[in-house]
Amino acid sequence: MTSPSPTGVPHLLVGVGGGIAAYKICEVISHQVKAGWEVAAILSETAAQFITPLTISTLCRQSVYTDQDFWHSQAPRPLHIDLGEWATLLLIAPLTANTLAKLALGLADNLLTSTVLASKIPILVAPAMNTTMWEQPTVQAHWQQLQQQSRYHCLPPLYGRLACDTVGVGRMAEPTEIIAYLDSLAYTQGRRDLAGKHLLITAGGTREYWDAVRFIGNPATGKMGIALARAALHRGATVTLIHGAIAEPIPPQVTAIEAIDSESMLQAVKKAWPEADWLVMAAAVGDVRPAQQWSGKLPKSELPMALPLRAVPDILQMAAQMRQPHQRLIGFAAQTGDIVTPAREKLERKGLDLIVANAVDQVDCGFGTVENAAVVLDRRGRSRSLAKAPKLILAHQIFDLAQEWLT
Protein backbone atom coordinates (compact mmCIF):
# COMPACT_ATOMS: atom_id res chain seq x y z
CA MET A 1 0.00 0.00 0.00
CA THR A 2 1.06 3.60 -0.56
CA SER A 3 0.22 6.65 1.55
CA PRO A 4 -2.88 8.73 0.76
CA SER A 5 -2.58 10.68 -2.48
CA PRO A 6 -1.34 14.26 -2.15
CA THR A 7 -3.92 15.24 -4.75
CA GLY A 8 -6.70 14.51 -2.27
CA VAL A 9 -8.12 11.47 -4.08
CA PRO A 10 -10.08 9.54 -1.45
CA HIS A 11 -8.68 6.17 -0.41
CA LEU A 12 -11.65 3.97 0.46
CA LEU A 13 -11.20 0.70 2.31
CA VAL A 14 -14.28 -1.52 2.10
CA GLY A 15 -14.84 -4.24 4.71
CA VAL A 16 -17.31 -6.77 3.30
CA GLY A 17 -19.19 -8.80 5.90
CA GLY A 18 -20.81 -12.20 5.51
CA GLY A 19 -24.39 -11.85 4.33
CA ILE A 20 -26.50 -12.08 1.20
CA ALA A 21 -26.44 -8.27 0.92
CA ALA A 22 -22.73 -8.51 0.06
CA TYR A 23 -23.66 -8.41 -3.63
CA LYS A 24 -24.86 -4.81 -3.24
CA ILE A 25 -21.37 -3.65 -2.38
CA CYS A 26 -20.27 -4.35 -5.95
CA GLU A 27 -22.24 -1.35 -7.20
CA VAL A 28 -20.69 0.89 -4.56
CA ILE A 29 -17.12 -0.17 -5.38
CA SER A 30 -17.68 0.10 -9.13
CA HIS A 31 -19.18 3.59 -8.82
CA GLN A 32 -16.41 4.98 -6.63
CA VAL A 33 -13.64 3.53 -8.80
CA LYS A 34 -15.24 5.11 -11.89
CA ALA A 35 -15.40 8.39 -9.96
CA GLY A 36 -11.62 8.28 -9.56
CA TRP A 37 -11.36 6.93 -6.00
CA GLU A 38 -8.72 4.47 -4.92
CA VAL A 39 -10.56 1.47 -3.48
CA ALA A 40 -9.24 -1.55 -1.60
CA ALA A 41 -11.25 -4.27 0.13
CA ILE A 42 -11.08 -6.69 3.02
CA LEU A 43 -13.20 -9.77 2.46
CA SER A 44 -14.14 -11.63 5.62
CA GLU A 45 -14.03 -15.41 5.68
CA THR A 46 -17.83 -15.61 5.72
CA ALA A 47 -18.22 -12.92 3.04
CA ALA A 48 -16.27 -15.15 0.65
CA GLN A 49 -19.15 -17.65 0.92
CA PHE A 50 -21.46 -15.07 -0.70
CA ILE A 51 -19.22 -13.21 -3.16
CA THR A 52 -15.88 -14.22 -4.62
CA PRO A 53 -12.57 -12.43 -4.11
CA LEU A 54 -12.19 -12.35 -7.90
CA THR A 55 -15.36 -10.26 -8.27
CA ILE A 56 -14.27 -7.71 -5.67
CA SER A 57 -10.65 -7.54 -6.84
CA THR A 58 -11.76 -7.01 -10.44
CA LEU A 59 -13.96 -4.09 -9.40
CA CYS A 60 -11.28 -2.62 -7.11
CA ARG A 61 -8.56 -3.03 -9.76
CA GLN A 62 -6.31 -4.57 -7.08
CA SER A 63 -6.02 -7.67 -4.92
CA VAL A 64 -8.48 -8.25 -2.11
CA TYR A 65 -7.19 -8.73 1.45
CA THR A 66 -8.33 -11.64 3.60
CA ASP A 67 -7.56 -13.00 7.04
CA GLN A 68 -5.11 -15.39 5.39
CA ASP A 69 -3.06 -12.36 4.30
CA PHE A 70 -3.26 -11.04 7.85
CA TRP A 71 -1.99 -14.15 9.63
CA HIS A 72 0.53 -15.23 7.03
CA SER A 73 1.90 -11.95 5.76
CA GLN A 74 5.64 -11.75 5.10
CA ALA A 75 5.55 -7.96 4.64
CA PRO A 76 7.96 -5.82 6.69
CA ARG A 77 5.05 -3.98 8.35
CA PRO A 78 1.85 -5.42 9.85
CA LEU A 79 -0.90 -5.39 7.24
CA HIS A 80 -3.53 -3.82 9.48
CA ILE A 81 -1.19 -0.91 10.27
CA ASP A 82 -0.43 -0.41 6.58
CA LEU A 83 -4.12 -0.45 5.62
CA GLY A 84 -5.08 1.84 8.50
CA GLU A 85 -2.54 4.44 7.35
CA TRP A 86 -3.44 4.12 3.65
CA ALA A 87 -7.20 4.57 3.98
CA THR A 88 -8.93 7.93 4.35
CA LEU A 89 -12.40 6.38 4.71
CA LEU A 90 -13.63 2.97 5.81
CA LEU A 91 -16.93 1.39 4.80
CA ILE A 92 -18.20 -1.77 6.48
CA ALA A 93 -21.14 -3.25 4.59
CA PRO A 94 -22.93 -5.45 5.15
CA LEU A 95 -22.22 -5.10 8.86
CA THR A 96 -23.08 -8.37 10.60
CA ALA A 97 -24.23 -8.78 14.20
CA ASN A 98 -20.89 -10.42 14.98
CA THR A 99 -18.76 -7.57 13.64
CA LEU A 100 -21.11 -5.00 15.19
CA ALA A 101 -20.48 -6.53 18.62
CA LYS A 102 -16.72 -6.45 18.09
CA LEU A 103 -16.76 -2.82 17.00
CA ALA A 104 -18.95 -1.75 19.91
CA LEU A 105 -16.67 -3.48 22.42
CA GLY A 106 -13.38 -2.57 20.77
CA LEU A 107 -12.39 -6.16 19.99
CA ALA A 108 -9.86 -7.03 17.30
CA ASP A 109 -9.39 -10.66 16.28
CA ASN A 110 -9.24 -10.44 12.47
CA LEU A 111 -7.89 -8.16 9.74
CA LEU A 112 -10.95 -5.91 9.52
CA THR A 113 -11.41 -5.23 13.24
CA SER A 114 -7.65 -4.85 13.74
CA THR A 115 -7.52 -2.28 10.94
CA VAL A 116 -10.38 -0.38 12.61
CA LEU A 117 -8.37 -0.08 15.82
CA ALA A 118 -5.21 0.81 13.90
CA SER A 119 -6.80 3.87 12.31
CA LYS A 120 -8.61 7.09 13.25
CA ILE A 121 -10.50 7.66 10.00
CA PRO A 122 -14.30 8.06 9.66
CA ILE A 123 -16.16 4.77 9.36
CA LEU A 124 -19.49 4.30 7.60
CA VAL A 125 -21.41 1.17 8.61
CA ALA A 126 -24.50 -0.37 7.02
CA PRO A 127 -25.97 -3.35 8.90
CA ALA A 128 -27.94 -6.14 7.26
CA MET A 129 -29.50 -9.12 8.97
CA ASN A 130 -32.70 -11.01 9.70
CA THR A 131 -35.33 -8.94 11.56
CA THR A 132 -35.34 -11.14 14.65
CA MET A 133 -31.56 -10.90 14.84
CA TRP A 134 -31.69 -7.11 14.43
CA GLU A 135 -34.29 -6.75 17.19
CA GLN A 136 -32.30 -8.71 19.79
CA PRO A 137 -31.64 -6.48 22.85
CA THR A 138 -27.90 -7.17 22.71
CA VAL A 139 -27.70 -6.19 19.02
CA GLN A 140 -29.65 -3.01 19.70
CA ALA A 141 -27.40 -2.20 22.66
CA HIS A 142 -24.32 -2.60 20.49
CA TRP A 143 -25.92 -0.43 17.78
CA GLN A 144 -26.56 2.33 20.31
CA GLN A 145 -22.98 2.07 21.60
CA LEU A 146 -21.60 2.44 18.10
CA GLN A 147 -23.66 5.56 17.41
CA GLN A 148 -22.22 7.21 20.51
CA GLN A 149 -18.69 6.99 19.08
CA SER A 150 -17.96 10.03 16.92
CA ARG A 151 -15.97 8.27 14.19
CA TYR A 152 -18.86 5.96 13.28
CA HIS A 153 -21.48 7.12 10.80
CA CYS A 154 -24.44 4.78 10.79
CA LEU A 155 -26.90 3.92 8.03
CA PRO A 156 -29.65 1.89 9.73
CA PRO A 157 -31.22 -1.08 7.97
CA LEU A 158 -34.44 -0.62 6.03
CA TYR A 159 -37.88 -2.20 6.21
CA GLY A 160 -38.76 -4.64 3.45
CA ARG A 161 -38.76 -8.25 2.29
CA LEU A 162 -35.54 -10.01 3.27
CA ALA A 163 -33.78 -12.93 1.58
CA CYS A 164 -35.31 -15.27 4.20
CA ASP A 165 -38.79 -14.03 3.11
CA THR A 166 -39.29 -12.22 6.40
CA VAL A 167 -40.89 -8.79 5.99
CA GLY A 168 -39.41 -6.37 8.48
CA VAL A 169 -36.37 -4.25 9.31
CA GLY A 170 -33.04 -5.70 8.22
CA ARG A 171 -32.39 -4.76 4.57
CA MET A 172 -29.07 -3.07 4.00
CA ALA A 173 -29.21 0.58 2.91
CA GLU A 174 -29.36 0.96 -0.86
CA PRO A 175 -26.11 1.58 -2.77
CA THR A 176 -27.25 5.09 -3.78
CA GLU A 177 -27.51 6.14 -0.12
CA ILE A 178 -24.16 4.54 0.74
CA ILE A 179 -22.48 6.30 -2.19
CA ALA A 180 -23.98 9.66 -1.23
CA TYR A 181 -22.84 9.27 2.38
CA LEU A 182 -19.31 8.34 1.23
CA ASP A 183 -19.21 11.44 -0.97
CA SER A 184 -20.27 13.55 2.01
CA LEU A 185 -17.64 12.01 4.26
CA ALA A 186 -14.94 12.62 1.64
CA TYR A 187 -15.95 16.30 1.69
CA THR A 188 -16.48 16.82 5.44
CA GLN A 189 -13.92 14.31 6.75
CA GLY A 190 -16.63 13.20 9.15
CA ARG A 191 -17.35 16.46 10.94
CA ARG A 192 -20.83 16.85 12.41
CA ASP A 193 -21.05 20.64 12.64
CA LEU A 194 -24.85 20.64 12.29
CA ALA A 195 -25.40 18.27 15.21
CA GLY A 196 -28.06 19.54 17.57
CA LYS A 197 -29.77 21.59 14.83
CA HIS A 198 -33.17 20.84 13.34
CA LEU A 199 -33.31 21.86 9.68
CA LEU A 200 -36.60 22.33 7.88
CA ILE A 201 -36.00 22.04 4.12
CA THR A 202 -38.46 22.36 1.25
CA ALA A 203 -37.93 20.73 -2.14
CA GLY A 204 -39.55 20.08 -5.48
CA GLY A 205 -42.08 21.98 -7.51
CA THR A 206 -45.64 22.85 -6.53
CA ARG A 207 -48.59 22.00 -8.74
CA GLU A 208 -51.75 24.09 -8.81
CA TYR A 209 -54.50 21.88 -10.22
CA TRP A 210 -57.44 23.41 -12.05
CA ASP A 211 -59.12 20.08 -12.76
CA ALA A 212 -58.38 16.48 -11.82
CA VAL A 213 -55.46 16.06 -14.27
CA ARG A 214 -54.30 19.53 -15.36
CA PHE A 215 -52.17 21.92 -13.36
CA ILE A 216 -49.91 24.96 -13.45
CA GLY A 217 -46.41 23.88 -12.46
CA ASN A 218 -42.70 24.10 -13.17
CA PRO A 219 -39.83 21.73 -14.09
CA ALA A 220 -38.37 21.40 -10.56
CA THR A 221 -37.48 17.81 -9.60
CA GLY A 222 -36.38 18.30 -5.99
CA LYS A 223 -32.79 17.18 -6.62
CA MET A 224 -31.25 20.27 -4.95
CA GLY A 225 -33.57 20.18 -1.95
CA ILE A 226 -32.95 16.48 -1.38
CA ALA A 227 -29.19 17.05 -1.75
CA LEU A 228 -29.48 19.68 0.97
CA ALA A 229 -31.39 17.22 3.15
CA ARG A 230 -28.73 14.56 2.64
CA ALA A 231 -25.87 16.95 3.35
CA ALA A 232 -27.52 18.23 6.54
CA LEU A 233 -28.27 14.68 7.69
CA HIS A 234 -24.69 13.58 7.04
CA ARG A 235 -23.44 16.55 9.08
CA GLY A 236 -25.48 15.50 12.09
CA ALA A 237 -28.68 17.54 11.76
CA THR A 238 -32.22 16.39 12.32
CA VAL A 239 -34.00 16.99 9.03
CA THR A 240 -37.63 17.51 8.09
CA LEU A 241 -38.29 17.70 4.35
CA ILE A 242 -41.50 19.24 3.02
CA HIS A 243 -41.73 18.41 -0.66
CA GLY A 244 -43.85 19.03 -3.69
CA ALA A 245 -43.47 17.01 -6.88
CA ILE A 246 -40.08 15.25 -6.84
CA ALA A 247 -38.18 12.74 -8.96
CA GLU A 248 -35.58 11.66 -6.43
CA PRO A 249 -35.62 9.13 -3.55
CA ILE A 250 -35.74 10.65 -0.07
CA PRO A 251 -33.18 9.42 2.50
CA PRO A 252 -35.00 7.12 4.95
CA GLN A 253 -33.67 8.98 8.01
CA VAL A 254 -35.37 12.19 6.86
CA THR A 255 -38.88 13.00 8.09
CA ALA A 256 -40.76 13.63 4.83
CA ILE A 257 -44.04 15.51 4.43
CA GLU A 258 -45.72 15.72 1.02
CA ALA A 259 -47.22 19.07 0.06
CA ILE A 260 -48.09 19.19 -3.62
CA ASP A 261 -49.71 22.63 -3.90
CA SER A 262 -48.65 25.97 -2.44
CA GLU A 263 -51.41 26.09 0.19
CA SER A 264 -50.48 22.63 1.48
CA MET A 265 -46.82 23.64 1.63
CA LEU A 266 -47.71 26.85 3.48
CA GLN A 267 -49.64 24.92 6.11
CA ALA A 268 -46.92 22.27 6.47
CA VAL A 269 -44.18 24.90 6.91
CA LYS A 270 -46.35 26.88 9.33
CA LYS A 271 -46.78 23.78 11.49
CA ALA A 272 -43.15 22.60 11.40
CA TRP A 273 -41.28 25.94 11.49
CA PRO A 274 -41.65 26.68 15.24
CA GLU A 275 -39.69 23.50 16.10
CA ALA A 276 -36.85 24.10 13.60
CA ASP A 277 -33.63 26.10 13.82
CA TRP A 278 -33.15 26.80 10.11
CA LEU A 279 -35.60 26.94 7.22
CA VAL A 280 -33.99 26.26 3.84
CA MET A 281 -36.59 27.12 1.22
CA ALA A 282 -35.31 25.28 -1.86
CA ALA A 283 -38.74 24.36 -3.25
CA ALA A 284 -39.85 25.98 -6.50
CA VAL A 285 -43.19 27.35 -5.30
CA GLY A 286 -45.39 28.67 -8.10
CA ASP A 287 -46.41 32.32 -8.22
CA VAL A 288 -50.05 31.89 -9.26
CA ARG A 289 -52.89 29.40 -9.11
CA PRO A 290 -56.20 29.08 -10.97
CA ALA A 291 -58.95 31.26 -9.56
CA GLN A 292 -61.39 28.45 -10.26
CA GLN A 293 -61.08 24.68 -9.91
CA TRP A 294 -63.22 22.02 -11.52
CA SER A 295 -63.95 18.60 -10.05
CA GLY A 296 -63.16 15.66 -12.30
CA LYS A 297 -61.53 15.99 -15.72
CA LEU A 298 -62.95 18.62 -18.03
CA PRO A 299 -63.74 17.38 -21.54
CA LYS A 300 -61.48 18.95 -24.17
CA SER A 301 -64.49 20.72 -25.67
CA GLU A 302 -65.16 22.48 -22.36
CA LEU A 303 -61.62 23.70 -21.66
CA PRO A 304 -61.56 27.45 -20.95
CA MET A 305 -59.63 29.55 -23.46
CA ALA A 306 -58.73 31.98 -20.68
CA LEU A 307 -57.82 30.89 -17.16
CA PRO A 308 -58.20 33.55 -14.45
CA LEU A 309 -55.34 33.44 -11.94
CA ARG A 310 -54.63 34.64 -8.43
CA ALA A 311 -51.45 34.90 -6.37
CA VAL A 312 -50.35 32.04 -4.14
CA PRO A 313 -49.49 32.62 -0.46
CA ASP A 314 -45.97 33.87 0.29
CA ILE A 315 -44.42 31.12 2.42
CA LEU A 316 -41.15 32.93 3.11
CA GLN A 317 -42.98 36.06 4.21
CA MET A 318 -45.08 33.98 6.60
CA ALA A 319 -41.95 32.30 7.97
CA ALA A 320 -40.22 35.67 8.43
CA GLN A 321 -43.18 36.95 10.44
CA MET A 322 -43.17 33.84 12.66
CA ARG A 323 -39.41 33.57 13.17
CA GLN A 324 -37.84 33.55 16.62
CA PRO A 325 -34.49 35.23 17.39
CA HIS A 326 -32.46 32.01 17.11
CA GLN A 327 -33.99 30.91 13.80
CA ARG A 328 -32.35 31.43 10.41
CA LEU A 329 -34.00 31.80 7.00
CA ILE A 330 -32.30 30.69 3.79
CA GLY A 331 -34.01 31.23 0.47
CA PHE A 332 -33.37 30.26 -3.14
CA ALA A 333 -33.81 32.33 -6.30
CA ALA A 334 -33.93 30.59 -9.67
CA GLN A 335 -33.26 33.23 -12.32
CA THR A 336 -32.31 33.83 -15.94
CA GLY A 337 -29.91 36.51 -17.13
CA ASP A 338 -28.71 38.62 -14.19
CA ILE A 339 -29.21 36.35 -11.19
CA VAL A 340 -27.64 38.53 -8.49
CA THR A 341 -29.73 41.74 -8.63
CA PRO A 342 -33.15 40.07 -8.23
CA ALA A 343 -31.75 37.71 -5.60
CA ARG A 344 -30.39 40.62 -3.56
CA GLU A 345 -33.76 42.36 -3.81
CA LYS A 346 -35.57 39.20 -2.66
CA LEU A 347 -33.13 38.79 0.24
CA GLU A 348 -33.86 42.29 1.52
CA ARG A 349 -37.59 42.35 0.76
CA LYS A 350 -38.29 39.07 2.56
CA GLY A 351 -35.89 39.55 5.47
CA LEU A 352 -33.74 36.50 4.71
CA ASP A 353 -30.41 35.72 6.33
CA LEU A 354 -29.00 34.09 3.21
CA ILE A 355 -30.08 33.54 -0.37
CA VAL A 356 -28.78 31.15 -3.01
CA ALA A 357 -29.14 32.44 -6.57
CA ASN A 358 -28.84 29.97 -9.41
CA ALA A 359 -29.22 30.33 -13.17
CA VAL A 360 -31.77 28.11 -14.88
CA ASP A 361 -30.82 29.21 -18.39
CA GLN A 362 -27.30 27.76 -18.32
CA VAL A 363 -26.32 24.40 -19.85
CA ASP A 364 -26.41 21.52 -17.35
CA CYS A 365 -27.45 23.74 -14.44
CA GLY A 366 -30.76 24.35 -12.72
CA PHE A 367 -33.90 22.22 -12.89
CA GLY A 368 -33.44 18.46 -13.03
CA THR A 369 -29.67 18.49 -13.58
CA VAL A 370 -27.04 16.48 -11.71
CA GLU A 371 -24.85 19.54 -11.16
CA ASN A 372 -25.53 23.15 -10.30
CA ALA A 373 -23.72 26.46 -9.75
CA ALA A 374 -24.77 29.34 -7.53
CA VAL A 375 -24.03 32.71 -6.01
CA VAL A 376 -24.66 32.94 -2.25
CA LEU A 377 -25.48 36.33 -0.72
CA ASP A 378 -26.11 37.43 2.86
CA ARG A 379 -27.78 40.43 4.48
CA ARG A 380 -24.40 42.05 5.29
CA GLY A 381 -23.61 42.47 1.61
CA ARG A 382 -21.25 39.53 1.25
CA SER A 383 -21.40 37.23 -1.76
CA ARG A 384 -19.61 34.09 -2.85
CA SER A 385 -19.72 32.36 -6.24
CA LEU A 386 -19.85 28.57 -6.16
CA ALA A 387 -18.61 26.85 -9.31
CA LYS A 388 -20.58 24.06 -10.97
CA ALA A 389 -20.43 20.91 -8.88
CA PRO A 390 -22.61 17.89 -8.06
CA LYS A 391 -25.62 19.09 -6.13
CA LEU A 392 -24.61 17.21 -2.97
CA ILE A 393 -21.23 18.96 -2.94
CA LEU A 394 -22.90 22.31 -3.68
CA ALA A 395 -25.21 21.67 -0.72
CA HIS A 396 -22.18 21.16 1.54
CA GLN A 397 -20.61 24.38 0.23
CA ILE A 398 -23.82 26.26 1.01
CA PHE A 399 -23.81 24.88 4.55
CA ASP A 400 -20.14 25.83 4.91
CA LEU A 401 -21.06 29.45 4.15
CA ALA A 402 -24.16 29.32 6.36
CA GLN A 403 -22.02 28.10 9.25
CA GLU A 404 -19.43 30.80 8.61
CA TRP A 405 -21.81 33.70 8.06
CA LEU A 406 -24.81 32.92 10.26
CA THR A 407 -23.34 31.42 13.45
Percent of the chain with pLDDT over 90: 92
Which of 26, 60, 154, 164 is an active site residue?
164
Across residues 253-259, what is the average pLDDT? 97
Output the pLDDT for position 173: 97
Is residue 60 flagged as an active site residue? no
Does the structure show a pLDDT above 60 at 2? no
Residues 98 and 203 in one domain: no
Across residues 145-173, what is the average pLDDT? 95
Across residues 188-214, what is the average pLDDT? 97
For residue 6, being part of any structural domain is answered with no
Query: Could you give the CA distance from residue 93 to residue 178 in angstroms, rounded to a whole number?
Result: 9
Residues 281 and 231 in one domain: yes
Does the structure show a pLDDT above 50 at 155? yes
For residue 264, being part of any structural domain is answered with yes
Output the pLDDT for position 350: 94
For residue 1, being part of any structural domain is answered with no
Query: Tell me: the pLDDT tens digits for 170-198?
Result: 999 999 999 999 999 999 999 999 999 99
* pLDDT bucket at 1, cuts 50 / 70 / 90: low
Could you tell me if 87 and 12 are in contact, meaning their C-beta atoms sit under 8 angstroms apart?
Answer: yes
Residues 6+ apart with CB under 8 A from 199: 229, 232, 237, 238, 239, 240, 276, 277, 278, 279, 280
**Bridge-partner residues for 158, per DSSP?**
171
Rounded to the nearest integer, the mean pLDDT of the chain is 95
Omega before residue 94 within 30° of 0, cis:
yes
Residues 202 and 139 in one domain: no
Residues 288 and 177 in one domain: no
Residues 273 and 386 in one domain: yes
Does the structure show a pLDDT above 80 at 73? no
Does the structure show a pLDDT above 50 at 5? no
Residues 62 and 80 in one domain: yes
For residue 271, being part of any structural domain is answered with yes
Does the structure show a pLDDT above 90 at 259? yes
Residues 253 and 356 in one domain: yes
Does the structure show a pLDDT above 50 at 4? no
Which of 6-15, 173-182, 304-313 has the least mean pLDDT?
A: 6-15
For residue 193, being part of any structural domain is answered with no
Give the domain CATH number at 325.
3.40.50.10300
Does the structure show a pLDDT above 80 at 3? no
- The one-character DSSP state at 2 is -
Residues 217 and 173 in one domain: no
Residues 58 and 88 in one domain: yes
Across residues 94-106, what is the average pLDDT? 97
Does the structure show a pLDDT above 60 at 7? no
Does the structure show a pLDDT above 70 at 407? yes
For residue 5, being part of any structural domain is answered with no
Domain count for the chain = 2
Residues 284 and 355 in one domain: yes
Residues 389 and 334 in one domain: yes
Give the domain CATH number at 39.
3.40.50.1950
For residue 3, being part of any structural domain is answered with no
Across residues 32-60, what is the average pLDDT? 96
Q: Of 134, 165, 188, which closes a domain?
A: 188
Query: Tell me: the pLDDT tens digits for 318-376?
Result: 999 999 999 999 999 999 999 999 999 999 999 999 999 999 998 889 899 999 999 99
Q: Of 168, 188, 208, which closes a domain?
A: 188
Q: Tell me the backbone φ, ψ of residue 132, rounded to 5 degrees.
A: -60, -40
Rg over alpha carbons for the chain, rounded to the nearest Å, is 24
Q: Of 188, 216, 240, which closes a domain?
A: 188
Query: Could you give the CA distance from residue 242 to residue 266 in angstroms, rounded to a whole number?
Result: 10
For residue 356, being part of any structural domain is answered with yes
* pLDDT bucket at 70, cuts 50 / 70 / 90: confident
Percent of the chain with pLDDT over 70: 98
Output the pLDDT for position 6: 42
Q: Which residues form the domain of 203?
A: 198-294+309-406
Residues 242 and 351 in one domain: yes
